[in-house]
Structure 1
Amino acid sequence: MATAAEQFWRHSFHGVSVDLVADAAGVNKATVYRYFADKRDLALAVVKYNGALSLELIFESTFDEYVLPQDRLASIYSYAYGVHLATYKTDGDVFGCPIVGLALELGQEMPEIRAEAQAVFDQVEGYLTKIASDAIAARAVKGDPDALGRTLTQLLHGAFASARVASDPARLLDAGHASLALIGFPEKRLPEQEPPA
């Protein structure tokens, strides 16, 4: 699963064959088909896998470690920036959100992928709405927490897309600073932009 997720993220669904996934995982193609009916079934499983992993590594861990809304938001963007900076340094490219990538590529022909991606994004929006609600409760900003949570979610999605199109991980830092300003903490700083090397 991890190998398929990595391959689809870096090369797209249509750019990867089951043979390539099997070779990269060090198994034969029959092993892949033992667990997945076809490549489409594998892609749906990858969206679920990426969703669970992202929620755990980025959002749940952030909420476990930090209490203040500005610290939580900064941690989310710092993590995303770090991942994208690492891929830029090793691959010379930025791959964006692995869930969005598959949902955009396959959403029309596979509505179940779109539905699974939306379920993950709804959970992400829940975390960001909690951050918005906490910022409003702290009187850092006024507004409707649901609307602010949606805006923060859209900024995060846009940051992934912008970073991918521009092949520039720093676009995540730009969106992170804008998001921090939206919740009333423009003075909160994210990591300094590293030169991509």
Structure 2
Amino acid sequence: MNIGANLTKGERTRAHIVATAARLFWQHSFHGVSVDLVAEAAEVNKATVYRYFADKRDLALAVVQHNGATTIETIFSATFDHYSQPEDRLAAIYGQIYAIHVALHQETGDVYGCPIVGLALELGRDMPEIRAEAQAVFDIVEEHFTIIAADAIAARATKGVSSSLGRTLTQLLHGAFASARVATEPSRVLDAGRASLALIGFADTPIPQQEPPT
């Protein structure tokens, strides 16, 4: 579905600025990117940026919201719509995340970790609203992982409490992002994916090769 077709010109301009800033903040950090650079990359003038955002901090909050919505929709919700079995869902989630890491590594030679956590760690102390928004996103991520865990328990593939397993799966994902970022090695994502599959009783399930979600 072409969501952009339903937006006004102003809404499309705002969304374009946010998407541009999201990539810049992810690759260069919030403090490493100026509003001038965002405007230049988005091919708008600086006044246009300030027409939609009170300041750079306001733009950062919009970026976290954008990253969160995109992550939930394209990786988690789409995977749940396409697959029904817990092992297939978990493997597909990691397959997509790995594909994103590989594509960026091939394009830039670097690995950038989680864009949501990155901004939350950089700005969370001075901007608690950023931290709160990031936590809200990962609460939804944890809900998806908890469903996967509950289904694995129901299938008698593993034992335990679904909420505890769901939280552990979320923490493993955080670790995957951090490990891949520090090592500049996308394969660390696969390591975490395999550990997650083993945790829910499906150690033999392969992680599929996928194209990055669009």
TM interval, short-chain normalised: over 0.9
Equivalent residue in structure 2 for 1:105, among 122, 146, 150: 122
TM-score calculated relative to the size of structure 2: 0.89
- Give the letter aligned to residue 75 of structure 1: A
Aligned identity (percent) is 71
Number of the residue aligned with 1:23: 40
**RMSD between aligned alpha carbons?**
0.7
- Secondary structure at the aligned position of 1:16 is classed as coil
Number of the residue aligned with 1:135: 152
Number of the residue aligned with 1:190: 207
Number of the residue aligned with 1:195: none
Number of the residue aligned with 1:68: 85
Any residues of structure 2 matched to 1:157-196 within 5 Å, and which? 157-191=174-208
Equivalent residue in structure 2 for 1:13, among 7, 18, 30: 30
Unpaired runs of 5+ in structure 2? 1-17, 210-214
Task: State the shift of 1:175 in Å.
Answer: 0.2
Distance in 1, Cα, partners of 2:161 & 2:70:
29
List structure 1 runs of 4+ shifted beyond 6 angstroms. Answer: none
Distance in 2, Cα, partners of 1:116 & 1:76:
22
Number of the residue aligned with 1:58: 75
Distance in 1, Cα, partners of 2:121 & 2:75:
22
Aligned pair count reads 192
- Secondary structure at the aligned position of 2:36 is classed as helix
Task: State the shift of 1:190 in Å.
Answer: 1.4
- Secondary structure at the aligned position of 1:141 is classed as coil
Number of the residue aligned with 1:124: 141
Unpaired runs of 5+ in structure 1? 193-197
- Give the letter aligned to residue 155 of structure 2: A
Q: Deviations along 1:112-135, whole A, 9 cap, x unmatched?
A: 000000000000000000000000
